[in-house]
Amino acid sequence: MSFRQWQIAASNKALSKQIAQRFDIDGFTAHLLSSRGFVSDENIVDILGIDDDFAAFIDPFSIIDMEKAVTRIRQAIDAFESIAIYGDYDVDGVTSTALLYSYLESVGANVTYYIPDREREGYGMNCEAIDRLHESGVSLIITVDNGITAVEPIAHARELGMEVVVTDHHMEGEQLPDAAAVVNPHRRGSECPFAEYAGVGVAFKLVCALEGDSMSVLENCGDLIALGTVADVVSLTGENRRLVRRGLRMLANTERIGLQALMELASLGGKSVTSTNVAFVIAPRLNAAGRLGSAERAVRLLITDDEDEAVAIAEELNDENRERQAIEQMIAADFAGMVRERPSLLYDRVLVIAGRNWNRGVMGIFASRLCERYGKPCIIISYDETHDGVAKGSGRSIEGFSLYHAIASCGEWLTGYGGHTLAAGLSLKTEHIEDFRRAINAYAAREYPRMPVPVLKIDCQLPPSGITLALCGAQEVLEPFGADNPVPVVAVMGLRIVDIYGAGGGKHQKLTLERGGCVMTAMKFATASEDFAYEVGDVVDLAVTLDKTIYRERESLTVVVRDMRLSETRFQEISDGRYFFESLMRGEELPEDVRSRLRPTRSEAGMVYRTAVKGYRGSEDVLACRMKRRGIGFGKLLTAVQMLSEGGFLTAENEGGIWRIEVWDSSAQKIALEETPTAKHIGYVNV
């Protein structure tokens, strides 16, 4: 995981005390509300769900074109026209499709659905699919979770005599499609008081408008709304929060036999369901349908009344989810090979990584992994010879960098694109991949000379004595957690490591820590013993989350380490060092005072080499601190490692902040440091 800047929320004890008294809640809960900006009575009531059973739903007709959509759809129902729901292959798309299909079928409509194949067709509407729907007699298409940018396909549908009603939640482009209605709360000029619905949320509002009653619709499909909304990582505030809160309760006792079968395979049968369960257990299995096969199966799973079919599809998706994980590992191995051959890829402001025949169903997941690992926007592109020379890409970004606008600025190299600020997709000719990489990095250099850094938002700082089981109960009041209301993170500073125990065969680390006579334990998951550079006696700061576990009716507290660092760490020094070093490696001009901060002496290069002789595996910030004690700043450390690598003295691999450094075979041919490309570029003198 990339090195992140910690932002600890400011504490307003007086305000927190007022909130605690006014709403009769725990002081920790009140602090979380105030630190997150939920301070008005309206906000607090919304977050706590106090008026859920009485609050009115937002009027669906406040969304632009809803009246037009309802009129056209009712006309089609009354005339028994052939209606096709055009969905998408992710969880939001399939839940939207299942929701609208189930409703229209229940009112006697002549309805079917169509989900494009991720591999052959890609995201959104396409003219070939419209031709097939036209040949089958469809006269009205209703899109869900797509369509806002489908200008040409919808124009093609009109030429064939078909009409389209668009329901979508993605950002609109420069031109709206010529549809019978374009229902999207994000449209310019919208007067809807809440716009952050997922695609399934917009589909829900459409059905509410058709039915004339929101509560009855929610009682029938709340489980689908919760699934799609949580999986699409939209804001869990406003009406979304109310929908998800009720929907999660419904999921635990869902009557959909397909979901029952899937949850049973995922060991969730008969248990309460949280937003975390949805995001990390249920959603990946539903997504597997579209990633490795046909997403149409996921829709059938959600609407089937056949128990045998439900079990069969659930088992398929469960197996394919495991296969998806294996495919990710293969792509990760390909990526590692690329970086070894072309390490300059990692110095770009925006990482653009292209691979031949990579499974297009997992590109978004892999982009998300690399974005988190390297702390940079990342776009993964797959190309081959079977798609008429058209490559497909999926990207993820960090806060502060709009990936959608960055991609839009490179439109001359693309055949299509769409998405959000933090996630987007694109298509382009294979021959233009490098042109696109240069263009998006030129945009980033122009608009973001200093790229935003990854941030870990921390709710408060507590002493170790304050980390208790009672805090779990206090934070549970704020569930469901998700976008704009994440799981609380607490900082505990100045802890001395007393013991380190490799758990799970060394795959995880159990830490015993102490401060001022107070001892606590914490778990650092998914960190192998050989990659854990901390030592007994180190004084560290932890950013943790708190989990309550129940075993044999006994509750216990698990402290989970989200991030950790030596207490002496100075983020800005490390951030500056990396920024100037990467600027150097990109060939950018740097003033002499900066170059001197990067230029190691022979003695300093020797100290770095001696570290390599001993071997180093672990987080880069720990190495940075240990070398800082010896007078070597982070930028100078990076430059020395680069020079020694080019000279054949050592090998260094950086996998998202985890370094592996060791010396080359002593028999390997060496190049004098002053003769290496980086030394020549920075003006290194062998003194």
What does the pLDDT average to over 186-200?
A: 93
State the average pLDDT for the chain.
Answer: 92
* For residue 669, pLDDT beyond 80: no
Lowest mean pLDDT among 50-64, 184-198, 218-232, 336-350: 50-64
- Note the pLDDT of residue 25: 94
Q: What does DSSP say about strands 82-86 and 140-144: parallel, antiparallel, or unpaired?
A: parallel
Q: Which stretches of 211-327 are assigned E, i.e. beta strand?
A: none
Q: How does pLDDT run across 235-264, given as a tens digit for each residue?
A: 999 999 999 999 999 998 899 999 999 999
- H or E, element range at 605: helix 602-614
Q: Which of 76-80, 338-342, 468-472, 662-666 has the lowest mean pLDDT?
A: 662-666
pLDDT of residue 497: 97
Domains of the chain by start residue, with CATH: 5-9+456-566 (2.40.50.460), 60-318 (3.90.1640.30), 342-447 (3.10.310.30), 571-682 (1.10.10.10)
CB 538 within 8 A of CB 618: no
Q: Is the pLDDT of residue 208 over 60?
A: yes
Amino acid at 685: V
Mean pLDDT value of segment 208-213? 96
Kindly tell me if the per-residue pLDDT of 385 is higher than 70: no
pLDDT at residue 652 greater than cutoff 90: no
> What stretch of H or E contains 426?
strand 423-429
User: Within 10 Å of residue 32's Cβ, how many Cβ atoms?
Assistant: 26
Spatial separation of the C-alpha atoms in residues 213 and 56, rounded to whole Å: 11
Is residue 659 pLDDT above 60, yes or no?
Answer: yes
Name residues whose C-beta falls within 8 Å of residue 611's C-beta, 6 or more positions apart in sequence: 623, 627, 661
This prediction's pTM: 0.87
pLDDT over 90 percentage in the chain: 73
- pLDDT(387) > 60: no
Token pair belonging to 216:
């009855």
Question: Which amino acid, residue 249?
Answer: R
Based on C-alpha coordinates, what's the Rg of the chain?
A: 27
Q: 458 pairs with which residues across the strands?
A: 8
* 667: confidence class by pLDDT, cuts 50, 70, 90: low
Q: Which two tokens stand for residue 298?
A: 């996921």
Compute the distance between CA of residue 158 and CA of residue 176 in angstroms, rounded to an integer. Answer: 14
Residues 366/367/370/371 CA torsion (nearest 10 deg): -150
Nearest to 177 by CA among 129, 125, 240: 125
pLDDT digits over 604-634, tens only? 999 999 988 888 998 989 999 999 999 999 9
pLDDT at 119: 76
Tokens of 28: 């920790």
Distances 362 to 8, 366, 367 between C-alpha atoms, Å:
34, 6, 9
Pairing verdict, β 140-144 and 163-167: parallel
pLDDT of residue 228: 97
In the DSSP assignment, the letter for residue 395 is E
- State the DSSP H helix or E strand holding residue 359, giving kind and residue range, or none if neither: none
Percent of the chain scoring above 70 in pLDDT: 98
Reported as a single tens digit per residue, the pLDDT across 506-564 is 899 999 999 999 999 999 999 999 999 999 999 999 999 999 887 777 888 999 999 99
